[in-house]
Amino acid sequence: MPPTVAPEALARQREYAALVRELLADRFGRPPAAYVRTYGCQGNEADGERMQGMLAEMGFSFCEDPAGADFVLLNTCAIRGHAEDRALGNAGRLKSLRQGSGTMRVALCGCMPQQPHMAEKLRAHYPFIDLLFGPHAVHRLPELLYRMYTTGRRVTDTADEPGSIAEGLPLRRGSAFKAWLPVMYGCDNFCSYCVVPFVRGRERSRTPEAILAEACALVSAGYRDITLLGQNVNSYRSEDYDFPKLLRELDKLDGDFRLRFMTSHPKDCGPALLDAMAEGAHIARHLHLPVQSGSDRILREMNRKYTSEQYLEVARYAREVMPDLSLTGDVIVGFPGETYGEFQETLALVEQARYTSLFTFIFSPREGTRAAAMPDPVPHEEKVRRFRELTALQESIAKQKCASMIGQAERVLCEEKGKRLALAGRTGGNQIIEFDGPESLIGQFAQVKITQAKNWLLDGEIYM
């Protein structure tokens, strides 16, 4: 059984929320303003939407600029050093804002403070942060705010936990037509470079009933694009459901919507999942399948549990059953001890996989992970050089792929105003395309024919 937070514990949080609401109404005589900034993955975005829901319940309004805020919440990511540096930089800038404001309180949450060394650093060097908590404490936000406001002292909630599932939290979604739908949390894979299993706890899945009910409500409310989320979304397991079965059930919902999911791990991406995708009426032909490296030795060192050949076989079968599939991936360049020859194996794999787009990262050592302790003789400049070589290769592939799409018709979700043409939207394959049309189409699907490809930018026109 997944460790679900008891309804009584959640009811207690609602009582705290009511207390905070009263306390702040007395103190401010107006709705206090919250500024919330989320870094990192979509799972963190989904947490951010829940925290905003709880803040709204506590009477907060929301502002776009931390300068005018009574409460600032930085929801951080620890995946690479760069993500942490950005959040620390922004946190540092809050120091003087907080001093200049009579009311501002600052909270830092998410994956960064869940690491003991980082919690310690924040406590020691960022004394103006009033509240520090990790992903396991998200549903306890009302209680944490109550303690912060009533004691006037710093509050911390970053203890290590296997993690739980809190159902029924209030939600303030960032969009009226695109939604994140978490289906599982945590990770048990312990890839040797990765901090996620340490900060997000053990793998646990929501029940199919909870997921189907949320999806049903989203479709009835007019949501057009629903992304099922999990660090290893395809390792989903609850009751007698595995991920392919969950997908097939969700696909049966009636309505004008598109389903996506991320991130899939290649080790759990078998024919059952790819067949369910291919046979689905609502499932976007988009598979995000990080490979990380094309070298089998590096994949072993990374603890990825597949070989490059097995990965390419997944991609081959996926395209056999979905010839129009858009495959995207992630690659880490410069894993400790990666030789130039091993890097060339990554280039060769990228040539064969023909990704629509590829997210490339230079290895960043994460304290406490196995890879951080491995000897790493390759100089940073050489890693940067490899990184550039890889991105240049991928750019040329993306360019060719885009050029080959001219004349093709795509069902596009219109999302926002365009930069070059009136509207911008996304294809089922998750490619951005611009086209002219009325703003009233935002949030709707349109049939768009691709007319031009400028490198990897697509232009089109609405037809029918």
Phi, psi of 327 (to 5 degrees): -105, 130
Question: For ligand F3S, which is the closer residue by CB, 198 or 241?
Answer: 198
| CA 189/CA 148 separation, integer angstroms | 36
Asked whether position 39 contacts ligand SAH by CB under 6 A, the answer is no
Could you tell me whether strands 445-454 and 409-417 are parallel, antiparallel, or unpaired per DSSP bridges? antiparallel
Report d(CA 42, CA 236) in Å as an integer. Answer: 17
332 binds ligand SAH (CB under 6 A): yes
Using the structure block, give the residue that is written with the tokens 């899945």: 205
* Closest distance of CB 246 from ligand SAH, Å: 18
Q: How far apart are CB 206 and ligand SAH at their closest, in Å?
A: 17
Helix residue ranges, H only, 221-257:
243-251
CA 102 – CA 90 distance, rounded (Å): 20
In the block, residue with structure tokens 């049966």? 252
Q: Which of residues 261-290 bind ligand SAH (CB under 6 A)?
A: 263, 265, 290
Shortest distance, CB of residue 229 to ligand SAH, whole angstroms? 10
139 binds ligand SAH (CB under 6 A): no
Question: Among residues 20, 24, 33, 41, which is the contact residue for ligand F3S, using CB under 6 A?
Answer: 41
- Residue 43 interaction partner, one of ligand F3S, ligand SAH, ligand SF4, none, beta carbon < 5-8 Å per kind: ligand F3S
Task: Report residue 258 as tokens.
Answer: 């598109």
Closest CA to 100 of 125, 72, 122, 76: 72
Per-position DSSP letters for 68-94, written without gaps between them? G-SEEEEEE--SSHHHHHHHHHHHHHH
Measured distance CA(152)–CA(393) in Å, rounded: 55
Binding mask 332-361 for ligand F3S (x = CB under 6 A): ------------------------------
Assess 298 for contact with ligand F3S (CB under 6 A): no
Instruction: Give dist(CA 231, CA 227) in Å, integer.
Output: 13
Binding partner of residue 40 among ligand F3S, ligand SF4, ligand SAH, none, CB cut-off 5 to 8 Å per kind: ligand F3S
115 part of the interface to ligand F3S, by CB under 6 A = no
- Is residue 77 at the binding interface for ligand F3S, with CB under 6 A as the rule? yes
Figure out which of the listed residues 33, 46, 54, 79 binds ligand F3S, where binding follows CB under 6 A: 79
Three-state SS at 413: strand
Nearer to ligand F3S by C-beta: 20 or 87? 87
Name the site residues for ligand SF4 (rule: CB under 6 A): 187, 189-191, 194, 196-197, 231-232, 265
Question: Residues 394, 395, 399, CA angle at the centre, nearest 5°?
Answer: 115
Taking CB within 5 to 8 Å according to partner kind, which of ligand SAH, ligand F3S, ligand SF4, none is near residue 197?
ligand SF4
With CB under 6 A as the contact rule, the residue among 126, 317, 361, 445 that binds ligand SAH is 361
Nearest to 338 by CA among 300, 312, 308: 300
The stretch near ligand F3S (CB under 6 A) out of 37-45, 157-165, 217-225, 234-242 is: 37-45
Residue type, position 85, single letter? D
Question: How big is the chain by its Cα radius of gyration, in Å?
Answer: 23
Say if strands 204-205 and 184-185 run parallel, antiparallel, or are unpaired. antiparallel
Alpha-carbon distance of 219 to 216, in angstroms, equals 5
128 or 361: CB nearest ligand SAH: 361
Quick check: 78 binds ligand F3S (CB under 6 A)?
Answer: yes
Side chain identity, residue 363: F
Stretch that binds ligand F3S, among 40-48, 323-331, 371-379, 435-443 (CB under 6 A): 40-48
The candidate with the shortest Cα–Cα distance to 306, out of 277, 339, 343, 264, is 264
Q: In degrees rounded to 5, what are phi and psi of residue 320?
A: -65, -45
- Selected range binding ligand F3S among 76-84, 167-175, 336-344, 452-460, rule: CB under 6 A: 76-84
Site residues (CB under 6 A) for ligand F3S, limited to 183-202: 195-196, 199-200
Query: 121: buried, middle or exposed (CB in 10 Å: 19+, 13-18, 0-12)?
Result: middle
Binding mask 364-393 for ligand SAH (x = CB under 6 A): x-x---------------------------
* Minimum distance from residue 62 beta carbon to ligand SAH (Å): 28
Where along the sequence are the contacts to ligand F3S (CB under 6 A)? 40-41, 43-44, 77-79, 110-111, 195-196, 199-200
Where along the sequence are the contacts to ligand SAH (CB under 6 A)? 79-80, 193-194, 196, 231-232, 263, 265, 290, 292, 330, 332, 361, 363-364, 366
